[in-house]
Amino acid sequence: MTSAPLRVAIISANWGVKCHLPAWRAVDGVEVVAICTSREATATAAAAANQVPRAFWDFQALAADPDIDLIDVGTRPALRYHMLKAALGAGKHVYAGVPFAANAAQAEELVGLAAANGVKGATDAYFQHIPAHLELKRRLDAGEIGEVLSVAVDLQINLFNPPRPNYSYYWFADRAFGASVLRNLGSHSLTLLTSLLGDVTQVVGRQALKMETWRSPEHGEIRSQVPDTAAALLQFRKGPIATLNLSWIDAGATGWRLDVHGAKGRLTAQHLGRFPNAEDVTLHLATADDPIGVEVPISRDFTHAPYVGIDHRFDPRPSYPMALSFHGLKRAIDGLGGGAPSLEQGLHVERIIDAIVRSEQSGAWEAVAPLDTRVHP
């Protein structure tokens, strides 16, 4: 007996169509049945261009539709909370772009709503499904570098110094839309860190707006209102301290680097100059005898997962780790495990970010409430 497919709707005719749509189509037992945007013309055009049967331009109507099982919310951050609340309130499963709420209070509300309605959710922080990061976690769990002592994370990319021609994310400059280097790049980085090392208990940090004017080839001068640089120290419950450095105005674009220092060696995942993706992140192992280290192979189990129909070389590169996340979410919906990163993990990340913001004001370490603690009424 064949079960009915999971019927998915995507909110977004841009990134959602480019990366999420092929990833959903790579997962068995999934059918993308609708695309939703804010305008009828763009919704119908996107649905027709991508052979998707239905178009919506009202997310409330989408949430209420009984022929949709899961809603993939990938629009601007400031809109996601309201869309997710409508979807979860209507009993839909969700896949949520990050940051998926404006703060921890909103995230806690959404997690509670999902639990109350018996539905599943995952967040679009796909770093933990990148093959090199999966291999790093396998080696950590196997004790290859011994007890983890400290961690250093750098995500230094160049989005706006200067902006690339025909770039579509100038709206990042407006604080009303909910973006910032901490909330965007930080959400991805922190989700990976917590998947590797567990809960964070305390943080101290700062964020700053260093480049107030972006000079766009198409739009001239754009005044930015949001932090473009951030740094933090994180204390993990299991003992390690991590440093986190973020920028999206790095003219040198050093890219992604994750150093995990253990008692017996160091594992380093990196993608020089770029945001990390499925194929190009490499993994190196160093020891006391070989401090420079060597590149280590990544298991084919992580680059060619047999349960999705694309591999790590699929273009666009984010689609493959997204497909792994989608597969896990479908298994969770089918009662076969937990989707990752879950909404609960996303709530913990939101609490970390809120604590970093509080630390800016207090000038001191701030506590991060554990996941089993409800801190907002």
Rg (CA), the chain: 20
- Check: CB of residue 158 under 8 Å from CB of residue 128: no
Residue-level pLDDT at 223: 96
**Per-residue pLDDT at 268 exceeds 80:** yes
Identify whether residues 230 and 295 lie together within a single domain. yes
**Residue 225 counted as domain residue:** yes
Identify whether residues 191 and 287 lie together within a single domain. yes
Average pLDDT of the residues of the chain: 95
**Residue 327 counted as domain residue:** no
Residue 11's identity, in one-letter code, is I
**Residue 237 counted as domain residue:** yes
pLDDT bin (cut points 50, 70, 90) of residue 3 is: confident
Identify whether residues 206 and 85 lie together within a single domain. no
Residue-level pLDDT at 376: 56
Domain end, chosen from 110, 126, 142, is at 126
Tell me which residue has tokens 């804010």. Answer: 38
**Residue 346 counted as domain residue:** no
Mean of pLDDT values over 282-294: 96
- Cα distances from 350 to residues 247, 249, 305, 362, in angstroms, run 19, 23, 30, 18
Domain end, chosen from 249, 282, 308, is at 308
Identify whether residues 146 and 160 lie together within a single domain. yes
**Per-residue pLDDT at 112 exceeds 60:** yes
**Residue 34 counted as domain residue:** yes
Rounded Cα distance between 57 and 182, Å, is 30
**Per-residue pLDDT at 44 exceeds 70:** yes
Domain end, chosen from 126, 153, 179, is at 126
Query: How crowded is residue 200: how many other Cβ atoms within 10 Å of its Cβ?
Result: 23
**Per-residue pLDDT at 212 exceeds 90:** yes
Identify whether residues 115 and 160 lie together within a single domain. no
Identify whether residues 182 and 52 lie together within a single domain. no
**Per-residue pLDDT at 219 exceeds 90:** no
Q: Is 90 exposed, middle or buried (CB count within 10 Å of its CB: 0-12, 13-18, 19+)?
A: middle
Q: Which two tokens stand for residue 118?
A: 């018996």
Q: Please report, rounded to a whole number, the percentage of residues in the chain having pLDDT higher than 70.
A: 98
Q: What is the CATH number of the domain that holds 72?
A: 3.40.50.720
Identify whether residues 51 and 146 lie together within a single domain. no
pLDDT tens-digit map of 344-374: 999 999 999 999 999 999 999 999 998 777 6
Residue-level pLDDT at 375: 63
Residue in 82, 73, 91 with CA at minimum distance from that of residue 36: 73
Measured N-to-C along each axis, helices 104-117 and 343-362 cross at an angle, to the nearest 10 degrees, of 160
Residue-level pLDDT at 1: 33
Residue 99: cis peptide before it, omega within 30 degrees of 0:
yes
The residue ranking higher by pLDDT, 339 or 50, is 50
Domain that holds residue 77: 6-126
Residue-level pLDDT at 216: 86
Identify whether residues 18 and 153 lie together within a single domain. no
**Per-residue pLDDT at 231 exceeds 50:** yes
Q: Which two tokens stand for residue 186?
A: 């930080």
Tell me the whole-structure pTM to 2 decimals: 0.96
pLDDT bin (cut points 50, 70, 90) of residue 87 is: very high
**Residue 30 counted as domain residue:** yes
Residue-level pLDDT at 67: 98
Mean of pLDDT values over 200-205: 98
HEC assignment per residue over the chain: CCCCCEEEEEECCCHHHHHHHHHHHCECCEEEEEEECCCHHHHHHHHHHCCCCEEECCHHHHHHCCCCCEEEECCCHHHHHHHHHHHHHCCCEEEECCCCCCCHHHHHHHHHHHHHHCCCEEECCHHHHCHHHHHHHHHHHCCCCCCEEEEEEEEECECECCECCCCCCHHHHCHHHCCCHHHHHHHHHHHHHHHHHCCEEEEEEEEECCCCEEEECCCEEEECCCCCEEEEEEEECCCCEEEEEEECECCCCCEEEEEEEECCCEEEEEEECCCCCCCCCEEEEECCCCCCCEECCCCHHHHCCCCECCCCCCCCCCHHHHHHHHHHHHHHHCCCCCCCCEHHHHHHHHHHHHHHHHHHHHCCCEECCCCCCCCCC
pLDDT tens-digit map of 137-164: 999 999 999 999 999 999 999 999 998 7
Mean of pLDDT values over 285-304: 96
Nearby residues of 1 by Cβ (< 8 Å), 6 or more positions away: none
Q: Which two tokens stand for residue 181?
A: 């280097």
User: How many structural domains does the chain have?
Assistant: 2
pLDDT bin (cut points 50, 70, 90) of residue 118 is: very high
Residue-level pLDDT at 357: 97
Residue 277's identity, in one-letter code, is N
pLDDT tens-digit map of 298-345: 999 999 999 999 999 999 999 999 999 999 999 999 999 888 999 999
- Check: CB of residue 172 under 8 Å from CB of residue 269: no
Sign of CA dihedral 340, 341, 346, 347: positive
**Residue 87 counted as domain residue:** yes
**Per-residue pLDDT at 284 exceeds 90:** yes
Identify whether residues 82 and 145 lie together within a single domain. no
**Per-residue pLDDT at 7 exceeds 60:** yes
Q: Is 150 exposed, middle or buried (CB count within 10 Å of its CB: 0-12, 13-18, 19+)?
A: middle
Identify whether residues 120 and 226 lie together within a single domain. no
pLDDT bin (cut points 50, 70, 90) of residue 252 is: very high
What is the rounded (10 degree) CA torsion for 331, 352, 199, 148?
110
